[in-house]
């Protein structure tokens, strides 16, 4: 008797189902640590960027770190930062800088 093949659609957890979604970005969030409350004070505080990121790619660390492999560049973190410490910068500008 032949053995059952029983193929199923079972998916296991892993990052990047949508690929390296950082490639979606037109604008990249850049953190100015001199304006960032936890970075300035060295204390656990604010972290609005961590709270409001829809993709969870901001770490709740001092300072917060943004995972640019996956950050989609929505700009919510920049909008929600109470001190304006995050600036959304054109990827093309940053790419040029990185080249140089």
Partner 1 sequence: MSVQTTILNLPEEELVQPGNRACSGCGLGLIYRTALKALGEKTILVVPPSCLTVLQGVHPVAATKLPCLNVVFASTAAAATGVVAAMRARKKDDVTVVAFAGDGGTSDIGIQALSGACERGDDFIYICYDNEAYMNTGVQRSGTTPKGALTTTTPYVGKAQASKNVPAIIAAHGIEYVATASAAYPIDLYDKVKKAMSHKGVRYIHVHTPCPAGWGFDAQYTIKIGQLAVESGMYDLYEIENGVKKLTGPSSKLLTKNRVPVKDFLSTQVRFKALKKEDAEALQAQTEAKWEAYKAEFSTQ
Partner 2 sequence: MHIIESGNTAAAHGVRLARAQVIAAYPITPQTPLTEKLSEFVAAGELDAQYIPVESEHSALSVCIAASSAGARAFTGTSANGLLYMYEQVNWAAGARLPIVMCVANRGVGAPWTIWNDHQDSMSQRDTGWIQIYACDHQQIIDSVLQGFRLAESVNIPVMVCYDGYILSHTYMPFELPKAETVDAFLPPYAPEDALDPDKPCNLNTVTLPDIRPDVDGEMAPGYMDIRHSLQVDMRGAIDVLVSIDQEFEKQFGRGGKPLVEDYRCEDAEVIAIAIGSLSYQMRVVVDRLREEGLKVGSAGVRLYRPFPDQAVVKLLSGAKQVAVFEKAVSYGNQGPLYTDIKSALYPQTNRPEIHNYILGLGGREIKTEELVNILRDTCRGQGPAEDTPKFIGIRI
Residues at the interface with partner 1 (CB under 8 A): 9-21, 24, 44-48, 50-57, 60, 67, 69-70, 72-76, 78-80, 88
Q: Nearest CA to 28 among 92, 84, 99, 100?
A: 92
Residue 2 touches which member of partner 1, partner 2, none, C-beta under 5-8 Å by kind:
partner 2
Q: Do you know the residue count of the chain?
A: 100
Residue 54 touches which member of partner 2, partner 1, none, C-beta under 5-8 Å by kind:
partner 1
Spatial separation of the C-alpha atoms in residues 2 and 20, rounded to whole Å? 42
Q: Which is nearer to partner 2, 6 or 42 (CB)?
A: 6
Residues facing residue 29 across a β-bridge: 88
């Amino acid at each position: 008797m032949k053995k059952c093949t029983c193929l199923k659609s079972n998916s296991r957890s892993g990052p990047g189902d949508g690929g390296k979604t950082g490639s979606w970005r037109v604008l990249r969030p850049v953190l100015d640590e001199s304006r960032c409350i936890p970075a300035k004070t060295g204390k656990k505080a604010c972290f609005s960027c961590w709270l409001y990121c829809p993709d969870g790619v901001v770490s709740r660390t001092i300072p917060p770190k943004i995972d640019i492999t996956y950050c989609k560049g929505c700009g919510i973190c920049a909008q929600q930062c109470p001190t304006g410490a995050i600036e959304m910068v054109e990827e093309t500008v940053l790419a040029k800088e990185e080249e140089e």
